[in-house]
Structure 1
């Protein structure tokens, strides 16, 4: 009886240590994950979600992590696992920031940045806020939780436990996704930029032809109405484009590594 109890205690201790190692990576990523790591989500809820993801991921990576659990006392775990988790969270967060950047570009181009500024935890123009909330809803509908779990499991194949990531490869991976995020955001906001350019060129021509006309008073309502109409027309097109790109990212989050 005592031998069986000792064996159960040893297995329980090993599982707790294994869960702690996994939580170091999962908990760090939870601070940045889309939908689950939003500032509007209470801290206690995020902590519970971190434990839930840990319980799901731990059995799947037990064979990968178990041989190294005995070295848990090494400080390398306290450095490598949070770094990998933060990197994974940042890559997925960049997909949401793409919508925020696109909304900011669109708002600045159509003079709606100050007129329709959003008063929320992450100050941004209302266009960016609408696109961001819509993107988060689409991501949740795509089974985001399942894809995140798959990403955590895949991360243990790309970044082994107990080893710091290669600095050059890790930085190149991040820079690649940051550059793609900004380029994709500008592509999404391109219709607003083009309309803004045409509007300013037309306004300049009218001002040269009729200097006595106060073109600013005439053009301000026009660009405001045009921006709102363009937003209503392009949002059903832009969001599916972003959705397909986000699905591709979830299927291969370590593509630039």
Structure 2
């Protein structure tokens, strides 16, 4: 009984420590690519959050048990806010890939192909890039990098402390800017193809006004877009996963 009485305070502290870590982990997991998709059942997400909690909890410093309701509320709010901020930062890379697919589809006249299917309506090119990107991210150890990110986040976002609003807003704007810059960079080959196609179409139309260049050029741009997707997808996905790896390694580094 004496040993049990000595063990109970330690057990209580460990449970509270795990609960505090779970708050941040669950918020990040809900936004994590592949693991936090809308098609993943809620029970699977809960199991994943608990698994990440078991991995992260021993690696972070212990926190004191709150003595009143105010301390508990502060822990809950700060941990959820920190987890959502980091989770949204990671989720922006999926937005970048989706935007790149939309830009590429619009540039190659393929935006209406299967545009309404799935949870998030987007062109078929977007689906191809996102599914390929998620598969590549998981194959390269996304779960390990995510666990390392969560552990690293306690150095930048200490438990029980709100990050300054000015710092968080500046960081968020930089992440959004990087996401759209990355999207345009990934879609650059398709934009160049579209410019060349329209320039050639204009020259042909000027030389032969009687020719219906739109009927002749439509199959060309469609076939060219599909061929370019086949050729450039490995490079696009490798650039994308490298950018996400840099973020996961140091989410608060200066945006290049």
**Do residues 192 (structure 1) and 186 (structure 2) align?**
no
1:37-92 CA-to-partner distances (Å, cap 9, x unmatched) read 0112111000111111111111111x2x423x325732222221111000111111
Q: Deviations over 1:67-125 (max 9, x none)?
A: 3x325732222221111000111111112222111111100100101024261112211
1:66 corresponds to 2:63: yes
The TM-score normalised by the length of structure 1 is 0.93
**CA offset at residue 144 of structure 1?**
1.0
Q: For 1:66, what is the secondary structure of its paired residue?
A: coil
Q: How far, CA to CA, are the matches of 2:123 and 2:240 in structure 1? A: 19
Take 2:167 and 2:147, find their aligned partners in 1: how far apart are those partners? 23
> Which 5+ residue runs of structure 1 have no aligned equivalent?
none
What value does the CA root-mean-square deviation take over the aligned residues? 1.6
Partners of 2:34 and 2:158 in 1: CA distance: 27
Measure, in 2, the Cα distance between the counterparts of 1:127 and 1:9: 56
Contact 1:107 1:113 (8 Å CA) reproduced = yes
Aligned to 1:45: 44
1:72–1:162: structure 2 CA closer, same or farther, 3 Å change rule? farther
Q: SS of the counterpart of 2:209?
A: coil
Question: TM-score, structure 2 length as denominator?
Answer: 0.94
| CA–CA distance in structure 1, aligned partners of residues 252 and 139 of structure 2 | 22
Matched residue SS, 1:194: helix
1:160 matched residue in structure 2: 158
Moved more, 231-240 or 113-122: 113-122
Which ranges of structure 2 fall in alignment gaps of 5 or more residues?
A: none
**SS where residue 255 of structure 1 aligns?**
coil
Q: Which has the higher mean CA deviation after the structures are superposed, 7-16 or 223-232?
A: 7-16
Change (3 A) 1:175 1:72: farther
- Structure 1 runs of 4+ with >4 Å offset: none
The total of aligned residue pairs comes to 253
Do the aligned residues in 2 keep the contact of 1:172 with 1:256 (CA within 8 Å)? no
In the alignment, what sits opposite 1:237? 235
